[in-house]
A and B are shown apart, each in its own frame.
Chain A
Amino acid sequence: MLPDYPEIKEKIANLLSDRLRRSMAEKLGFLGQIPKSIIQEGNRHVLIRDDGTTQETPYQKVSSSISITHDEMHSMETNVLFDKIDSAASELASQQAMMTFKTIDNEVSQAGNSVDANGAPFTAELFLNGLEKIQLDFDWVTQRPMLPSLVAHPSNMEKMKLELSRLDEDPTCRSRFESIIAKKKDEWIARESNRKLVG
């Protein structure tokens, strides 16, 4: 055996793991803010909803590899190692995001909640069509709706903001938006008042 430095390597490994996690969280953006639950044991996960329907989530693997040549080993500086970690984090984040969106897509399709624009650009009307299909919760204190987050490609961001401003500025859009919110609030009140123990 050649001389090794396991204690130092353990510290370095912890630093690199930390960096990987932070880098992934950054690249995931708002997806990284979705609460995470650590699986301590077992190999399956089943969710049983309040309406009795079940959903089994198969565990899926995300992986990325980092390769280092013999030459690189002799000359690699820390920032190069960090770049490799960040690159792996990008790949892992990308895989995780794809999995998340695929899952959402499947669930939405099954529930019949998808709105297909058939390639047309995003409009306020399209947004309102989607809003009509989803369940909205309201804040108990402010009574304001907890509106959904929208995920878009950065190149579409400005256009989307412009369209969304029509919800306030365009009288037709505003009227429809307010009508939908009122309806959703009634649904929320009915839903919440159904939370009761009877008999």
Chain B
Amino acid sequence: MNGLLEKVIENWLDSASEKTFQEAFCAMMAAEGHTIVHLTRHCAMELGKDILSISSDGRRCAFQLKGNPKSRLTLRQWRDEVSAQVIDLVAGKLVHPSLPDTSEHHRSFLVTNGDLDEEVTRAIDDMNGAWKQQGLPYKLEVYVRGQLLAMAKSLGEKLWPAELNDAKTLLELFLANGRSSLDKEKFVSLIESTLLLQDLDKAGETSVSGWKRLFSSATLLCAVATSNYRKQNNHVAEIEAWTLLLSHLYAAIDQHSIDPKLVASDLQIARDAVYNCMHKLYEELVTRDSLSEGDPLLDAQYPLLKVRTTWLVGLMSVFYIWRRELDEPSGEIDIKLIDFCRTHHKNMILIGESVIPMFLSTHWLFKWVGIEESSLLLGGLLRGLCELNAPRSEKALASPYYSSEQLIPYFAGVATDPIEDSFGGSSYAIGSVMDLCVRSNWKDLLQATWPDITRIGFKSFQYETPSDMLRWRVKNGTNTEVFQPHTQTWNSLVKSAAGHDGPSIPVALKSSVGFSIIYIMVCAFRMNSDIVRWIDEALLTLQTPKGKGSTKAISP
């Protein structure tokens, strides 16, 4: 079993570019005790340092990654490309707010997944020797393929999937067609198994150091399992994978009472991976003439392009918001993001309740930047849900447990089996959408739609513990369906919609509003009124200058 898995790792390492082994390398360093501080986005602003970290003995470290799959770093490559970058790596000052301020010079590493030509090894030795002779504190250290392989294997044979099912799952993901959607159920089963989320006995026996290695193992598994998606630049699939990894890491922290500081690096790696993939997606979108992908004749089949557009507009909307949350400097990127969403939002499709978070993401962007369409979007959603999900409706939107990929065949007319589930007369999203309309003070709209609203059961899932919200599926919990009182007062609705503390929301999600929005896009069945109200309020707070309040009621 482990011989096979070692082959998978070797295979992955021998085909990875520097972009595709970055997160995995970080996971391995985290397992060695490093605190990862920064991962590069591989953008034009690259400053010769792909990764910054603090080693277990407190030393600052900088890493430059070079992809040489199944090959060697040649002398020519060293001279033409690498040596200049290495000078900056070694001699340049490390600037990052999370790095300790110390006079001791940092350690510098060149990391390659290939080997070095003898001449390169000699050149590095000579360079280091010269610096030493000059009394400079510079030294270039090197990690090559063999060491990376040993590090990956050394995470421990116990920590790799030991059960046949898990090994099979890893292989299936590793060999998946990177152009398709991520098989989220398969991916989550691998992560849940690694993090012992369903094996409480084994979890109880795991030591503190054991948890650290398990978390690094899960991070490394995510990187390996998604390598084909990364090779295909399937950014959305990667966003989903890293989002699910992060949420399950948080779930494991809560469930097993792990100190988050112990596994901070793995959380950072996953969070940065999500953000970096969003950026890469943006970079791709700005170079494209159209949003079509693959064979245009097949892509023209309804509703493929519309579903893709829905995802992209939703993601670029939240990317704008996340950038504001992180205080990224404003610039051309933000103008382009708004422009993209404004241009393409009319081509979004309400294929099922699973895409409502994408619409809400766009509504929040438009509201943030003051675009009138925000009210049309939200008002349209409420009216749409009232009509489509009325009792006995045959056009009812499928529940958010059905992803857009699952629903496409039914809209394209190529489904082979009917969905044996009924959606008319109830909705998971209507409560959230209604609350947002109430918070926007749209009394007229609510009065007009109230009779229809009372005919629809408000469905939701009540968790036994908040951290269950971070998991793909849970065994225990209550499926609830609530019918609104026939006669209701506006004040009651306002009071209910005003609540935004979100006591049922896990602290992990509350740590970032940007990530929360992405999470409910990836796991739409985890969207509920609590988290939507919390997000809405958090965005207001982010936008509002300190000490001033501002509410904007735009009538639909």
Contacts and interface: CB of A to CB of B under 8 A. Distances in A.
A35 interface: yes
Contacts of A51: 485
Interface stretch (B60-68, B309-317, B331-339, B419-427): B419-427
Nearest to B443: A197
Interface string B376-409: 0000000000000000000000010100000000
Given A51-B485, A196-B450, A198-B490, A41 B474 contact: yes
Given A40-B473, A42-B474, A50 B422 contact: no
A195 B451 contact: yes
A197 to B, nearest CB: 4
Given A191-B486, A195-B450, A197-B450, A39 B479 contact: yes
B55 interface: no
B37 interface: no
A39 B475 CA distance: 11
A192 interface: yes
Q: Interface residue tally of chain A, by bracket?
A: 20 to 34
A192 to B, nearest CB: 7
B475 A50 contact: no
B487 interface: yes
B476 A197 contact: no
A16 B528 CA distance: 38
A57 to B, nearest CB: 9
Given A35-B424, A38-B420, A199 B490 contact: yes
Given A38-B420, A42-B474, A50 B484 contact: yes
B478 A49 contact: no
A41 B451 contact: no
A45 B487 contact: no
A37 interface: yes
A48 interface: yes
Contacts of B490: 197-199
Nearest to B451: A195
B392 to A, nearest CB: 9
Interface in A66-80: none
A48 B481 contact: yes
Interface in A172-199: 191-192, 194-199
A198 B485 contact: no
Given A40-B525, A42-B476, A44-B477, A35 B422 contact: yes
A174 B186 CA distance: 63
A21 B420 contact: yes
A198 B474 contact: no
A52 interface: yes
Interface in A20-73: 21, 35-52
Contacts of A49: 483
B286 to A, nearest CB: 38
Contact of A198 (B457, B476, B482, B487): B487
B189 interface: no
Contacts of B425: 35
A197 B455 CA distance: 14
Contacts of B424: 35
B511 interface: no
A45 to B, nearest CB: 5
B493 interface: yes
Contacts of B401: 38, 40
A48 B446 contact: no
A144 B479 CA distance: 35
A199 B447 CA distance: 10
A196 B477 contact: no
Interface in B432-475: 443, 446-447, 450-451, 454-455, 457, 461, 473-475
B11 interface: no
A45 B476 CA distance: 11
A184 B515 CA distance: 52
A46 B446 contact: no
A46 B422 contact: no
B290 interface: no
A195 B424 CA distance: 19
Interface in B525-539: 525
A31 B555 CA distance: 45
A52 B426 CA distance: 17
B480 interface: yes
B489 interface: yes
B491 interface: yes
Contact of B461 (A37, A41, A52, A191): A41
A194 B486 contact: yes
B305 to A, nearest CB: 29
A150 B457 CA distance: 26
A36 to B, nearest CB: 6
Given A48-B480, A51-B485, A42 B420 contact: no
Contacts of B484: 50
Interface in B133-181: none
Contacts of B486: 50, 191, 194-196
Interface in A57-105: none
B461 A42 contact: yes
B473 A197 contact: no
Contacts of B491: 199
B451 A196 contact: yes
A48 B482 contact: yes
A192 B486 CA distance: 8
A175 B457 CA distance: 37
A60 to B, nearest CB: 15
Nearest to B417: A18
Contacts of A39: 479
B478 A42 contact: yes
B71 interface: no
B487 A194 contact: yes
A194 B424 CA distance: 22
B473 A45 contact: no
B487 A37 contact: no
A30 to B, nearest CB: 15
B206 interface: no
A197 B421 contact: no
Nearest to B483: A50
Interface of B: 399, 401, 420-422, 424-426, 443, 446-447, 450-451, 454-455, 457, 461, 473-491, 493, 525
17 contacts: A36-B420, A37-B421, A40-B399, A40-B401, A41-B473, A41-B475, A42-B477, A43-B476, A43-B477, A44-B477, A45-B478, A45-B480, A46-B478, A46-B480, A47-B482, A195-B451, A199-B489
Interface of A: 21, 35-52, 191-192, 194-199
For the complex of A and B, 3 pairs with smallest distance between CB atoms: A35-B422, A195-B451, A42-B477
Given A43-B477, A191-B486, A196-B451, 8 more contacts: A35-B422, A35-B424, A43-B476, A43-B478, A46-B481, A47-B457, A196-B488, A197-B488
